[in-house]
Structure 1
Amino acid sequence: MLLTELTQILFAQVTTSAVAEAPKKVFSFWEIMFHGGVFAKIVMVTVLLLGVFSVYLFFERFFFIKRMVSKTDPDFMNNIEDFIREGKIESAADYCKRQHSPEGRILEKGISRLGRPVSDIVSAMESQAQVEVANMEKNLNLLAVVPSIAPMLGLLGTVIGMIIAFFDLSNMEGAFSPKTLSEGIYTALGQTAVGLAVAIPANFFYNILLTRIDKFVLRAQNMSGEFLDLINKPL
């Protein structure tokens, strides 16, 4: 009897020790991302490439727009006014060319039309402004596509992953293991999570660039208005 009790105690201690020493699985999102099959890996790599592409496109457009709008002389309009007041139209046009800025090119179009009807001057400046905005928006539509495609690819990966998980579950023999189903579900949901993690910053980047372009458009409109007021003022 005593021997039986000692055996039970020793068995309980060994079992407790084995449970205590069992390695605890650490959560690794990177492992979850690439835990699925070949299709899941292809979807994941595609989404990650879209994220890298959106980051590259954002910084390329951001610094391009910043470089373009920061070239104009702070006294640009004052100098243009002085040239026009003094009748130096060609000097004003040359000064605009030397600016190498969107504002300079827009005003150069207006100055080159001086002497014509105001509608022609306005039309020329508006056309040049549209060209400048189009240059700033170059490839911006590609950035706008990322927030739409990335979540859809993630959702596609999730749906395929769930299908595979339930297919494997339906073909299991013997006792049901919740681990099999749970692994399939969290692997599938990781696809959607990555898709959203790429789409949210890309949408944020896109709106930042649109805001900067809108600010330029507003500034160009104000500058065009000042120029029209200037040429219509009595000398």
Structure 2
Amino acid sequence: MFLQATTTIINNKVTEKQVFSLWDVLFSGGIIGNTIMIAIFLLGILALYVFFERYFFIKRASKETPNFLENIKDCIHDGRIQSAIDLCRRTDSPEARMIEKGLTRIGRPISDISNAMQNQGQLEVSKLEKNLNILASASGAAPMLGFLGTVVGMIMAFFEISNVTGAVSPKLLASGIYTAMATTAVGLFVGIPAYFFYNILVTNVDRLVLKIQTHVNEFLDTLNKPL
């Protein structure tokens, strides 16, 4: 009789299945947790904007100008310095601006020309590397914010448990834990791509700087050759 009654209760028991909601998981951490989550998302949007803005800027700066250096050499050999300067001014590229700086100082010692071009080169590199520190910061700050959200979420979960009298429901503990871990997941989701974005841009800048340095060296070699 008891076994039959128990079986009837089990069979008639209504089990509530919790539906997974990503929105509820992400934004159920209270005011502090939601603030941290929003900060991570804003950091991700900023990192994405900086990446695409810098990527296309570097891509434009890396665009090859056909026969640019050969035309500069021809102008120097023919003594048409002003024509070479005008060609540099019509060409929107870092090496053109550096070579223009060198052309305006022709007649001075080669060391003065080289120093002037190096100073211009530092300005060009600083333009290329503009805002890359934001990506570097995002790759480290986003996971740290995620960990902060996890710690805050765990504190809140255990605070709720401390206010419960009697047996603690595992559901109460689990809910607080997965809500807290959501901030870490989102922080890593933002930080890992930001880290790769930063390294991609740094690699492109280094490749462009090497190409510029090669063109500058060829230009200086041209000045050192007898006409």
TM-score range, shorter chain: over 0.9
Q: For 1:180-233, what per-residue CA distance to the aligned partner results, in whole angstroms no more than 9, with x for missing partners?
A: 111111111111111111111111111111111111110111111111111112
Deviation at 1:14?
A: 7.2
Distance in 2 (CA, whole Å) between partners of 1:14 and 1:169 is 30
List runs of 5+ in structure 1 lacking aligned partners.
none
Distance in 2 (CA, whole Å) between partners of 1:14 and 1:168 is 31
Helix, strand or coil for the counterpart of 2:11?
helix
1:46 aligns with one of 39, 58, 65:
39
Deviation at 1:8?
A: 3.4
- Paired amino acid for 2:59: K
Instruction: Return the TM-score normalized by structure 1.
Output: 0.89
Deviation at 1:12?
A: 3.8
Q: For 1:136-171, what per-residue CA distance to the aligned partner results, in whole angstroms no more than 9, with x for missing partners?
A: 122222222111211111111111111111111122
Distance in 2 (CA, whole Å) between partners of 1:17 and 1:177 is 22
- Paired amino acid for 1:91: S
1:155-194 → structure 2 map (5 Å cutoff): 155-194=147-186
Question: Does 1:111 pair with 2:103?
Answer: yes
Instruction: Evaluate the alpha carbon distance shift between residue 234 and residue 17 of structure 1 in structure 2; reply closer, same or farther with a 3 A threshold.
Output: farther
2:77 aligns with one of 85, 109, 122:
85
**Any runs of at least 4 consecutive aligned residues in structure 1 with deviations exceeding 2 A, and if so which?**
11-19, 22-31
Distance in 1 (CA, whole Å) between partners of 2:49 and 2:16 is 41
Deviation at 1:84?
A: 0.8
Instruction: Return the TM-score normalized by structure 2.
Output: 0.92
Q: Percent identity?
A: 53
Aligned partner of 1:57 in structure 2 is: 50
1:72-221 → structure 2 map (5 Å cutoff): 72-221=64-213
Could you tell me whether the CA contact under 8 Å between 2:88 and 2:100 is conserved in 1? Answer: yes
Q: Report how many residues are paired.
A: 227
Distance in 1 (CA, whole Å) between partners of 2:23 and 2:114 is 56
- Paired amino acid for 2:4: Q
